[in-house]
Structure 1
Amino acid sequence: MRILVVSDAWRPQVNGVVRTLDTLKGELERTGHDVVMVTPDRFRSIPCPTYPEIRLALRPGRKLAQMIESAQPCAIHIATEGPLGWAARRYCIRRGLPFTTAYHTRFPEYIQARFRVPLRMSYAVMRRFHGASSSVMVATQGIETELVRRGFGNISRWSRGVDTEMFRPRPEAKGESGPFAGLPRPIFLYVGRVAVEKNIKSFLALDLPGTKVVVGDGPQLDEMKRRHPEVHFTGAKFGEELATHYAAGDVFVFPSRTDTFGLVLLEALASGLPVAAYPVPGPNDVIGAHPVGVLDGDLRRAALGALDLDPIGCRAYALEFSWSAATRQFVDNLAPFETFPMPGRQAKRLSVA
């Protein structure tokens, strides 16, 4: 099946959405599907206010329509609610093409944190965007429950996986040749964007023994470096180097209250790191009552409590999350059509059991 995926988030951006879509593309192609990505790098774009590394496509409608018609897809998935997402939504509605969407990011909470826009206004926009979707894919039960409460419908589950070959315990990473050699232990590790919506200030303000380490880049990096000279900032890491940094830690601290899943939680667990987090959607769904993390409204108490958890158990738990299963969920949720229609005609839906 030829699947067209429209996303405003794509390389060289570094975030969970990009990594999820990149991995999904590889898994779909590995299982015989043809994937066409429609992303900002194929359009004229401008930097997003407050996020210059994120590019926003300028007036993408006509070119996007040409891309879709050239691709002749069997199914269309709109991954994000940015300029490309809205343009693809308009195109599909006008042409009578079914499409699916995904709720990757809690934009209303992000916008409130940055610009103080009331949640009800932002959620009204999100309901409109996703309302025409055949299936709104969400990663967890917690996010589904929240969206249903806010008036969303047609919700289906699309979980996440983790590369357990790359992200694995590496005992040598904690030694003298490791990335944190010479730093006082325990190492309390954060991996992710250094940005206000990640609530990183709550982690950096904690009074903890050992060393706090931040792996990542973002708009608040320079400010946080100035405010917290006692914290070890490494910048962004990728691939094997990122995996080694995970394995060199002792506890993974996840201060975000707004993530819909938190792919970094699985990467940390696969690396043998117990998790400390708030009891909010994302951590509640991934960790729950399993003895691989401590969820507490007091993040310091959670971080100290996580030191006592078994790294072997963390690794074993992460092995239950596979990308192959997550990819099958994604395909099952799609709304395929029999043939891509010529202009002026509507597509015929495939009947899938």
Structure 2
Amino acid sequence: MNIGLFSDSYLPSLDGISYSIEAFRVELEKRGHTVTVFAPSPSIRYKEKSPNIVRFPAVKGLFYDDYLTSMFFPPEALLRIKRKKLDIVHFHTPSQIGLLGAYYALRSHTPLISTYHTDLYEYVSHYPQVLPGTIALSLMSPMITGGGLSDFRKAISSIKPERNIDKWNKKIVMRGITALHNRCDYVIAPSRKIRTQLEGWGTTAPIRILPSGVDPIPTTARATSLFRSKWGLNPDQPVILFVGRLGKEKNIELLIEAYGQVRKQLPEAKLVIVGRHEHQKALQAYSTKHNLDDGVIFTGHIEHDRLGAAYASANVFAFPSRTDTQGLVLHEAANAGLPIVMIDKEITEVVHDKQNGLFARNSAGDMARKLLIILKDSEKQQRYGAASRQFAAEYSASHQAKLLEELYQKTITSHRRAAEMPPAVKP
């Protein structure tokens, strides 16, 4: 197959969408397919990992710091896509390049699939500056999907301002995303949570739950020892680990507060937070306010291929986020053999309550209690860790790519059959 992946997030950007696309690209190419990624031009010098990467000029920070807004001349962009003779289009973001892919597919009658990676419905509460983008999505959806004048009027109506900005923003997201998804042959939801959300919005396209595949991140005993030494972690010191983007939507303040309660019973315990983002300074200030500076360690960004040492240094992985759609770091932690304590039990298939982890309520007290249950029981750590590896192995990159390949083939076949059917005779 000749596959086109369209995304406004891709390497060298450091986020789950980028890692997901790259893992699928590599595995699909191993299976003999040609995969072209259409993405924004990076803001830094970067050596491409494949010759089949099509970049569009982009401006950084138009909506918020980490986001690249692509700029292109549509006729020229469509010509660049047409030359690839794609068998299927798979878009991963409902933004400029993702929408370009959807527009091309619908215009050229190419099979179209979407993966809804980001819970925009929740994100707009934390990042109101994306409002111009959500308005643009709502207005562009009828044009992209070939809707008529009535659809455009509905779009105009949906952006009529309301007093409650958060509610208004969410309504725009819901209507724009649903209109777009309902023109797809398939919509991929990374988790049960997202399938339920999309169905509740009125998505009529078939929805398939297909998490992104994640493989173990290799490390060595020496690398792990160096990591612990660098951050002042004694060999027998209990370590709680969080890995991820330090955004305000990740609920990390709750984890820091929970750690403060853990330390009352385990004074030697440490909380290691790996990642970076604009919210890091606020989190550090929060730690200082609660007199936890000597126990909360902010490592900043660590290259992905070196994260194995961080996971190997921990006793338990904590994940307080309630806005993720899958949480690739949960799979990484499980692959590393870690017990997991998390809040949003609907976002992953790799954590099972009281088998390899514990689900906590959205409260610092309950998260602290669940962390202590694991930290105080070395036998449970071993048992849960072994189960984590078993569950994670079911979602390897190669296995998930095989499932995606099968979905592509099924979509292309059904799309071709539908095109060959004679048009219905109007009564």
TM-score range, shorter chain: 0.7 to 0.9
Residue by residue over 1:160-181, the C-alpha shift from the partner in whole angstroms, topping out at 9 and shown as x without a partner, is 32213x257x655664763565
Q: 1:73 to 1:226 in 2, by over 3 A?
A: same
Amino acid at match of 1:304: L
CA–CA distance in structure 2, aligned partners of residues 148 and 338 of structure 1? 22
Amino acid at match of 2:193: G
The structure with the largest alpha-carbon Rg is 2
Report what 1:178 is aligned to. Answer: 228
Residue by residue over 1:24-60, the C-alpha shift from the partner in whole angstroms, topping out at 9 and shown as x without a partner, is 1000011111100100112221224563232110245
Q: 1:317 to 1:92 in 2, by over 3 A?
A: closer
In the TM superposition, residue 328 of structure 1 has moved relative to its aligned partner by 1.6
CA–CA distance in structure 1, aligned partners of residues 227 and 306 of structure 2? 13
SS in 2 for 1:190: strand
Q: 1:291 to 1:322 in 2, by over 3 A?
A: same
Report what 1:216 is aligned to. Answer: 275
Report what 1:39 is aligned to. Answer: 39
Residue by residue over 1:170-215, the C-alpha shift from the partner in whole angstroms, topping out at 9 and shown as x without a partner, is 6556647635653363111110000012222221222232111111
Aligned residues: 341
In the TM superposition, residue 144 of structure 1 has moved relative to its aligned partner by 1.3
Q: 1:26 to 1:315 in 2, by over 3 A?
A: same
The 10-residue stretch of structure 1 (308-317 or 269-278) with the greater mean CA deviation from structure 2: 308-317
CA–CA distance in structure 2, aligned partners of residues 197 and 60 of structure 1? 34
Q: Runs of 5+ in structure 1 lacking a partner?
A: 341-346
Amino acid at match of 1:187: V
Report what 2:159 is aligned to. Answer: none
SS in 2 for 1:249: coil
Identify which of structures 1 and 2 has the higher relative contact order when contacts are C-alpha pairs closer than 8 Å and 6+ apart: 1
Q: 1:248 to 1:277 in 2, by over 3 A?
A: same
Q: Is the 8 A contact 2:58 2:69 kept in 1?
A: yes
Q: Is the 8 A contact 1:138 1:158 kept in 2?
A: yes
Amino acid at match of 1:220: H
Q: Is the 8 A contact 1:27 1:324 kept in 2?
A: yes
Q: Is the 8 A contact 1:173 1:245 kept in 2?
A: no
Q: Is the 8 A contact 1:252 1:274 kept in 2?
A: yes
Q: Is the 8 A contact 1:109 1:258 kept in 2?
A: yes
Residue by residue over 1:330-353, the C-alpha shift from the partner in whole angstroms, topping out at 9 and shown as x without a partner, is 12222337999xxxxxx968xxxx
Report what 1:318 is aligned to. Answer: 392
The 10-residue stretch of structure 1 (38-47 or 314-323) with the greater mean CA deviation from structure 2: 314-323
Report what 1:101 is aligned to. Answer: 114
Amino acid at match of 1:328: K
Match of 2:183 among 132, 135, 139: 132
Q: 1:87 to 1:161 in 2, by over 3 A?
A: closer
2:370 pairs with 1:302: yes
**Alignment map for 1:200-279 (pairs within 5 Å):** 200-206=252-258, 207=260, 208-209=262-263, 210-229=269-288, 230=293, 231-279=296-344
CA–CA distance in structure 1, aligned partners of residues 359 and 79 of structure 2? 48
SS in 1 for 2:32: coil
TM-score normalised by structure 1 residue count = 0.88
2:199 pairs with 1:148: yes
In the TM superposition, residue 270 of structure 1 has moved relative to its aligned partner by 1.1
CA–CA distance in structure 1, aligned partners of residues 200 and 394 of structure 2? 29
Amino acid at match of 1:217: R
Q: Is the 8 A contact 2:322 2:343 kept in 1?
A: yes
CA–CA distance in structure 2, aligned partners of residues 223 and 262 of structure 1? 23
